[in-house]
Amino acid sequence: MSSLGFQSLYRQLNAAGIGTHRAFLPDAWEPLSLRWPQPKRPILSYEAERPLSSYPVIGLSIAYELEIVGVIRLLEGAGIPVLAASRGPRDPIIIGGGPLTFSNPSVALPFVDVLLVGEAEARLPELLATIEAAGGDRRRAIEAAAALDNVIVGEIDEGRFEPLPPPARADKSLLPAYSAILTPDTELAEMFLVEPERGCSRRCTFCVMRGGTIAGGMRILPKERPLSVLPAEAKRVGLVGAAVTDLPHLEALVADIVDSGRGVAISSLRADRLTPRFLRDLQRGGYRTITVASDGISERMRLVLDRRVKEEDLLRAAQLTAEAGFHKLKVYEMIGAPGETDADADELIRFASELASIQRLTLTFSTFVA
């Protein structure tokens, strides 16, 4: 429910007069055992409590490969054939999209009828209009959709795949993405999300949003754009993006948000962008812990990954946060990158001890998956 892309499309389509309802996997589903909760119940839409299989089109937002398991279970629970090649003329058209399409879209193709590659704001309304124009003829609708830019047909004929198209890229006029729903019952409870920039100018080699890719390339919005969409009832604002801390006017934007009496949260902070004034405003906005990313576990590995954060930046972040009175500094690390050695791990141990002598420290490790 807290996904900004999902909420932004929900708002965009309903505003355009395209009736859009939501549906979710049951909370009690056990993804590790792959067992359905018993007794098994049909998956219904949230707004109308209609069976999912009764809708003509179903859109799936897929973030990464492991979510394909959820796609399979959702289709099974809805009574829809899991494989696109097994569906008949009365089955809904399944559209796939989301962040997965920037990294490894091919894994979704056996399960979707149509895959929209890239940023859906740029192409989804046209795709839905094309499907509607087919007048209920499922095969004709899918073939017409395949003629659109940034769209590929799934494996509707077993064993046949088309080349992947380039990703769609939303014009700045369609931005920012922002929340359509405020609720206390989500991971980011009562937080209004807004995207003040999209993409990234940096070139970290492990990131699908790195500059130089079609997905990357930073699109910066004027400070007034995200401020203009904040509703009066929003008490906490989350600034979401791949490189929010690289916004040239970020300090002024955060100051305006907290001056309005709202709390603030940012999806990521760069150690080399922290200043005393910025930290004071984050504190006023509710921050008690500052989180930054090192990613490479040594200076050498950060250079290999083109992650340009240096030891001196992290040491300075520890010093600034300690002086400002923050409870602790949390540092994200990525371990297991190609070329990593025991010497790199030894350097991390030495450096972590140095950081911990300045500020209370938490290290969070993610395992690199090739």
Judged against a pLDDT cut of 80, whether residue 24 lies above it is answered with yes
pTM of the shown model: 0.88
Task: Give the pLDDT confidence score for residue 307 in this predicted structure.
Answer: 86
Give the torsion sign (CA, 119, 364, 321, 282). Answer: positive
With tokens 């939303």, the residue in question is 170
pLDDT at res. 160: 67
* 305-358 per-position pLDDT tens digit: 988 899 999 999 999 999 999 999 999 999 999 999 999 999 999 999 999 999
With contact defined as beta carbons under 8 Å apart, do 279 and 323 qualify? no
Taking the C-alpha atoms of residue 136 and residue 149, their distance in angstroms, rounded to an integer, is 22
118 - beta bridge partners? 168
Using alpha carbons, select from 314, 312, 315 the residue that is nearest to residue 294: 314
Residue 213 — very low, low, confident or very high, per pLDDT cuts 50/70/90? Answer: low
- Render pLDDT for 155-208 as a digit per residue (tens, 0 to 9): 766 666 677 888 898 888 899 999 988 777 777 778 999 999 998 888 888 887
- Rounded CA separation 57/143 (Å): 15
Q: What residues does each domain of the chain span?
A: 4-153, 175-257, 269-370
pLDDT at 217: 72
CA 336 to chain centre: 23
How much of the chain exceeds pLDDT 90, in percent? 68
Average pLDDT, rounded, for the chain: 89
Give the pLDDT confidence score for residue 308 in this predicted structure. 84
pLDDT at 37 over 70: no
pLDDT at 33 (0 to 100)? 54
Q: Let me know: does 237 contact 224? Beta carbons within 8 Å.
A: no
pLDDT of amino acid 158: 67
Tell me how far apart the terminal alpha carbons of the chain are, to the nearest angstrom: 29
pLDDT digits (tens, 9 = 90+) for 91-114: 999 999 998 998 888 899 999 999
| Tokens (6 digits) for 244 | 């929010």
Q: What is the pLDDT at residue 39? A: 54
pLDDT at 77 over 90: no
Question: Which tokens sit at 19?
Answer: 């009736």
Predicted local distance difference test score (pLDDT) of residue 98: 92
Whole-angstrom Cα distance, residue 111 to residue 155? 7
Task: Give residue 369's pLDDT.
Answer: 73
Q: Which residue has the higher pLDDT, 341 or 37?
A: 341
Q: Which CATH number fits domain 269-370: 3.80.30.20, 3.30.360.10, 1.10.1040.10, 3.20.20.70?
A: 3.80.30.20
The mean-pLDDT minimum among 141-150, 163-172, 279-288 falls in 163-172
Distances (CA, A) of 259 to 251, 262, 282, 365: 12, 7, 11, 35
